[in-house]
Amino acid sequence: MNMNEQEMIINAVAVLIGDYSRERKKAAKLILKMLLPGEVYKDLMNDEQLKPVVKALK
């Protein structure tokens, strides 16, 4: 099964929102950082739903 970039982005966001391990969430964050343009990535990480998750990963 070949996953395109759009599917990878969707899956990575789902991992950040879902009930997954800290390591898996960190990996999802790195995938997003690699695949999204800088401003889009920053905006996503500042989203109200993701902000607590991102803060907890630091």
C-alpha separations of 34 from 19, 38 in Å? 22, 9
Tell me the one-letter amino acid at 35. L
Q: Is the pTM of this model over 0.85?
A: yes
Q: Which residues contact 41 (CB under 8 A, 6 or more apart)?
A: 32, 33
Nearest to 31 by CA among 16, 49, 20: 16
Nearest to 16 by CA among 54, 46, 47, 48: 54
Domain spans of the chain?
5-57
| Segment 4-33, tens digit of pLDDT | 999 999 999 999 999 999 999 999 999 999
